[in-house]
Structure 1
């Protein structure tokens, strides 16, 4: 399951709640880590039994603190927020008054805080109009021209990710045997192509699952003999994460 695609294709309400319901598989899926909860199954949590939708809500609260915490701490390339705007929104979310924010910051004025509130509301209006415009654009745009979704763990978001679906398919067929289902023929030097190749390889790993280094190596060996290089690039480009002692690896969300 492509958790990045699920996240970026989700509606605003689905992103706000932190999970999505997939009717064809009858599963509730956490948009943050990809953990699944099947409808009709009862899940024990803290010695209490919950149905699937309640279980995914509890999961988000326990594992991710809150959807707000996750979203506000995303890369500013995704949120579009400056550092000061990010800080102000956290204060507003806590329910602090303008005076309390001034006191907490140890300076400034309430009028400055009000100005921040005003600018954020204006930014919200602009975002709504922009979403409407992009929605209309998508309806009149062919699949070949649509851009791929950027993985949420990306360490740097720039023009290297300006990749169309058609371009992605072409690169995968070029650099992998069996139309993308076989071994890696060679690792491209060009950054854009390398990102496409690494993204394709990352799909071999299950989201929300912990792997040992040996397990990671075994998966990568089936793709290319020089698995150490692949492992390093997957981490460097933000597709995989690991503990400091390299004892555990997982898909970076």
Structure 2
């Protein structure tokens, strides 16, 4: 339940609530839960009824994921911050149960206990809003000179590989891009810190918030290094890029 496509983490709050987003460049709707792509302009059949793409992605979410609410609610506690008891109460609220109904299901015998739960959850919502505002303001702050290389959101392991100063980064790039920073690479190092610096530099060849086919990714990487497949794989492994499950679409994660 926690195998979430990387695209999910770049979606807006409204997109997460509806469970899908619309990619204008590809002209398709993408399920944020499983990565399924629904091409716009195509008519999709379901139970002998034909649906346009936008309606069909909604049907897809209801059919395979119940709802965005239930998907989010059933994520691991480390992602939601909710206990199993809180999840059960929220699900009962979502289904339209009154405080009295919830009290009966939980066998608490007291609606005041349920009202206290509602109050606690509203307080949690307020805290979340404030925290989001803080993080957005932090992101808008003009950064000072960076001491370390940016760490991708979905990096599988955050360690000394990413602790690269600007001076180290410049030295590594000059050593391996001897014909200039536009490439090609003279060789590709085995040491992970050097690989991270090179891969981070290669990302400049791609555009943020743009999706690429595997063929397009290969076309960008081929002039840089003969083993472009290795570069493509490492961009994914180190968390700098993500892709759909079928490998039909790639995008930057930073």
TM over 0.5: yes
Evaluate the alpha carbon distance shift between residue 141 and residue 181 of structure 1 in structure 2; reply closer, same or farther with a 3 A threshold: farther
Report the structure number with the largest CA radius of gyration. 2
**Could you tell me which of 236, 242, 246 is aligned with 1:206?**
246
Mapped to 2, the partners of 1:197 and 1:115 lie a distance apart of 45
The reply to whether residue 148 of structure 1 matches residue 173 of structure 2 is no
Alignment correspondent of 2:79: 78
Structural mapping, 1:52-71, within 5 Å: 52-71=53-72
**Partner SS state of residue 84, structure 1:** helix
**2:36: which partner in 1?**
35
Q: How does 1:213-224 map to 2 (within 5 A)?
A: none
What is the CA–CA distance in structure 1 between the aligned matches of 2:160 and 2:85, rounded to whole Å? 32
Structure 1 residue 161, shift from structure 2 partner? 5.0
1:197 aligns to 2:237 (yes or no): yes
Over the aligned positions, Cα root-mean-square deviation in angstroms equals: 3.7
For 2:135, the equivalent position in structure 1 comes to: 134
Structure 1: where are the runs of 5+ without partners? Answer: 155-159, 185-193, 209-253
CA contact (8 A) 2:5 2:34 kept: no
Q: CA deviation at 1:82?
A: 1.9
Assess if the C-alpha contact under 8 Å between 1:41 and 1:51 holds in 2.
yes
Following the alignment from structure 1 to structure 2, what is the Cα–Cα distance between the partners of residues 45 and 166?
51
Distance 1:161 1:99 in 2: 47
Unpaired stretches in structure 2, ≥5 consecutive residues: 165-192, 200-223, 249-254
Residue in 2 that maps onto 1:171: 196
1:145 Cα shift?
6.0
Q: Secondary structure at the match of 1:54?
A: helix
**Residue aligning to 1:19:** 20
Q: Is the 8 A contact 1:173 1:180 kept in 2?
A: no
How many angstroms apart in 2 are the aligned matches of 1:133 and 1:91? 31
Per-residue deviation, 1:150 = 3.6
Residue 28 of structure 1 contacts residue 53 of structure 1 at CA under 8 Å; is this kept in 2?
A: yes
Give the conservation status (yes or no) of the 8 Å contact 1:4–1:150. no
CA–CA distance in 1 between the matches of 2:80 and 2:227? 33
Q: Distance in 2 between matches of 1:62 and 1:162?
A: 40
- 8 Å Cα contact 1:18/1:30 also seen in 2: yes
Q: CA deviation at 1:69?
A: 1.1
Contact conserved, 1:22 with 1:28, CA < 8 A, in 2? yes
Equivalent residue number for residue 247 of structure 1:
none
TM-score by length of structure 2 reads 0.61
Partners of 2:194 and 2:32 in 1: how far apart?
25
TM-score norm. by structure 1 comes to 0.61
Contact 1:145 1:165 in 2 (8 A): yes
Alpha-carbon offset, residue 137 of structure 1? 1.1
Q: Is the CA contact (8 Å cut-off) linking 2:99 and 2:115 kept in structure 1?
A: yes
